[in-house]
Amino acid sequence: MSSYDLKQEVTDKYSLRGRVFSKIREDILSGKYKDHEELKEVAIGEELGVSRTPVREAFRQLELEGLIQIVPNKGAYVTGITAKDVEDIYMIRSLLEGLCARWATEHITQEQLEELEENVYLADFHAAKGHLDQMAELDNHFHHILYEACNSKQLARLLIDFHEYVLRVRKKTLSNGGRGKISNDEHRQIMEAIKEKDGERAETLAHEHIINAYNNMVKNGLYQIYPMEDADSREP
Amino acid sequence: MSSYDLKQEVTDKYSLRGRVFSKIREDILSGKYKDHEELKEVAIGEELGVSRTPVREAFRQLELEGLIQIVPNKGAYVTGITAKDVEDIYMIRSLLEGLCARWATEHITQEQLEELEENVYLADFHAAKGHLDQMAELDNHFHHILYEACNSKQLARLLIDFHEYVLRVRKKTLSNGGRGKISNDEHRQIMEAIKEKDGERAETLAHEHIINAYNNMVKNGLYQIYPMEDADSREP
DNA sequence: AATCGTATGATTGCATACAATAATACTTGT
DNA sequence: ACAAGTATTATTGTATGCAATCATACGATT
pLDDT digits over A73-93, tens only?
A: 999 999 978 889 999 999 999
Pick from A157, A125, A123: nearest CA to A142: A123
Nearest-10 crossing angle of helices A167-174, A199-219:
80
Q: Average pLDDT for residues B19-23, to the nearest whole number?
A: 92
> Nearest nucleotide (C1') to the CA of residue B52?
D15
Q: Average pLDDT for residues A179-196, to the nearest whole number?
A: 95
Q: Which residues contact A23 (CB under 8 A, 6 or more apart)?
A: A48
Torsion of CA B224, B225, B226, B229, to 10 degrees: 40
Q: Which residues contact A178 (CB under 8 A, 6 or more apart)?
A: none
CB contact under 8 A, B16 and A66: no
Q: Average pLDDT for residues B203-232, to the nearest whole number?
A: 75
pLDDT at site A100: 98
Using CA atoms, how far residue B88 sits from A96, A201, B15, B174, B211, in Å, is 11, 20, 30, 20, 11
Please say whether the beta carbons of B147 and B156 come within 8 A: yes
pLDDT at site A179: 82
Count CB pairs under 8 A between chains A and B.
Answer: 77
Per-residue pLDDT band for B230 (boundaries 50, 70, 90) equals very low
Q: Average pLDDT for residues B111-120, to the nearest whole number?
A: 97
- Altogether, the residues listed in chain A come to a count of 236
CB contact under 8 A, A92 and B158: yes
CB contact under 8 A, B152 and A95: no
- Residues of chain A with pLDDT > 90, as a percent, come to 64
Domains of chain A (ranges; CATH) run: 6-78 (1.10.10.10), 83-225 (1.20.120.530)
- Which pLDDT tens digit goes with each residue over B171-214? 666 666 678 889 999 999 999 999 999 999 999 999 999 999 99
Q: Which residues contact A196 (CB under 8 A, 6 or more apart)?
A: none
A69 CA to chain B: closest CA distance, Å?
9
Phi, psi of A166 (to 5 degrees): -105, 20
Q: Average pLDDT for residues A2-31, to the nearest whole number?
A: 66
Mean pLDDT over the full length of chain A = 85
Of B58, B72, B152, Cβ closest to residue A88: B152
Cite residues whose beta carbon is less than 7 Å from strand D.
A 38-42, 52-53, 56, 70, 72-76; B 16-17, 45, 49-54, 72-74
pLDDT at site B119: 97
Chain A residues within an 8 Å CB radius of B69: 9
Phi, psi of A101 (to 5 degrees): -65, -40
Which of B30-34, B49-53, B225-229 has the weakest average pLDDT?
B225-229
- Which pLDDT tens digit goes with each residue over B139-174? 999 999 999 999 999 999 999 989 888 776 666 666
> Using CA atoms, how far apart are residues B177 and B129, in angstroms rounded to an integer?
14
Of A92, A155, A232, Cβ closest to residue B88: A155
| Element (DSSP H or E) covering residue B176 | none
A125 CA to chain B: closest CA distance, Å?
35
> Using CA atoms, how far apart are residues A124 and A129, in angstroms rounded to an integer?
9
- C-alpha angle with apex B39: B35 to B44, nearest 5 degrees? 130
For residues A17 and B188, the model is more confident at: B188
pLDDT at B100 over 90: yes
pLDDT at site B80: 77
Q: Which residue of A has its CA nearest to B97?
A: A92
Taking the CB of residue A14, how many other CB atoms lie within 10 A of it? 10
